[in-house]
Amino acid sequence: MNNRTILFVDACVREQSRTRRLASYVLEQLEGQVTELRLEHEPMAPLDGALLERRNKAAQEGRFSDELFRYAHLFADADEIVIAAPYWDLSFPALLKTFLEQVCVVGVTFRYDETGMPEGLCKARRLIYVTTVGGVGLPEEFGYGYVSGLARQYFGIPETRCIKAEGLDIIGADVPELLKQAEKEAENL
């Protein structure tokens, strides 16, 4: 029995999501127990002043078992992380940003060393970012680059990979073939 845990963070909202379809294929290539968070069904709220104050107070008091830190613990404890996020309006869905706000917790997913530099506390050795794009020329810094930067610089996850299918909304595009090409890339994970 494989005890590896895979956290699947699903930021797709369309029922027939091409990104989710590609992410499902990626998950089939991996071994381990999958915990799925379909973000549109999670009781998350963006951090506002009141929520941030509650979270900071709980952290200062060392109450990291508080429900406020549920997502941070799931993220920190996973052996591998797969994030499915379509490329929308020059970025990823706001649901993913809200989730990342919940995950960025000093004392759970990272800490600062004596020089002020972040040190990752996450167990994962790899994060796989899965996305689909209607056009071509995806600027990585607007989606994958942001998540990869957090993973490496703050969470201590040494390897990040991006599996993507581009050009899906171009007139005449062979969508099944473009998805199949991305799936072939996933087979090398």
Q: How far apart are the C-alpha atoms of 69 and 75, rounded to whole Å?
A: 10
User: Contact, 110 vs 118, CB < 8 A?
Assistant: yes
Residue 100 sits in a domain of what CATH number? Answer: 3.40.50.360
Domain that holds residue 152: 5-186
65 phi, psi to nearest 5 deg? -85, -5
Domain tally for the chain? 1
Tens of pLDDT, residues 60-95: 999 999 999 999 999 999 999 999 999 987 789 999
Residue 29 confidence class, pLDDT cut points 50, 70, 90: very high
DSSP state, residue 150: I
Q: Which residue has the higher pLDDT, 143 or 83?
A: 83
106 phi, psi to nearest 5 deg? -65, 125
Q: Which token pair is 24? A: 């499902």
Q: What is the rounded average pLDDT of the residues 31-49?
A: 95
**Where are the extended beta strands (E) located within the chain?**
5-10, 33-38, 80-84, 110-112, 118-120, 126-132, 159-165
Closest C-alpha among 86, 75, 59, 71 to residue 143: 86
pLDDT at position 98, please?
Answer: 96
Instruction: Say if strands 80-84 and 33-38 run parallel, antiparallel, or are unpaired.
Output: unpaired
Q: How far apart are the C-alpha atoms of 139 and 149, rounded to whole Å?
A: 14
Tally of residues, the chain: 189
Distance in angstroms between the alpha carbons of the first and the last residue of the chain:
21
pTM recorded for the entire structure: 0.94
